[in-house]
Amino acid sequence: MIRGDKMISLEKRYENFKSTIEECGSYLLLEDDDTIKHNLFEEFSIDIISFLHEDTLNLFLDEGMIDNDILEKSIELRNAYLELERIPDMLNVETVKTSEKWKNILRKSDEISELLYW
């Protein structure tokens, strides 16, 4: 991955992957609306495109930074979020707090966080 004229190291990409996972989680249900909006609709929505991309995840898998379980859950998380993102009515804080689909996304992120070992 290139930013400007520099390649981002694998370690930095992994740090960004972990940060992306941390932007989303059940803890957000206890946060104020502005934090939820910022984390999910400003940070996570952008970061998930790059740092949970299947090519990036496969690099981490090849280097032993994640296992197959983390790979599969990360792909599921990305796909579930991208599916919700296509439905404008799902992209608001109230829906995050009440929708079972959103709660599943938050829980999936929690599961991935607990599995990270590198």
For residue 6, list its beta bridge partners.
3
DSSP class of 5 = T
Torsion of CA 27, 104, 118, 67, to 10 degrees: 170
pLDDT digit string, tens, across residues 37-74? 999 999 999 999 999 999 999 999 999 999 999 999 99
**pTM of the entire structure?**
0.90
E strand residue ranges, the chain: 2-3, 6-7
Mean pLDDT of the chain: 94
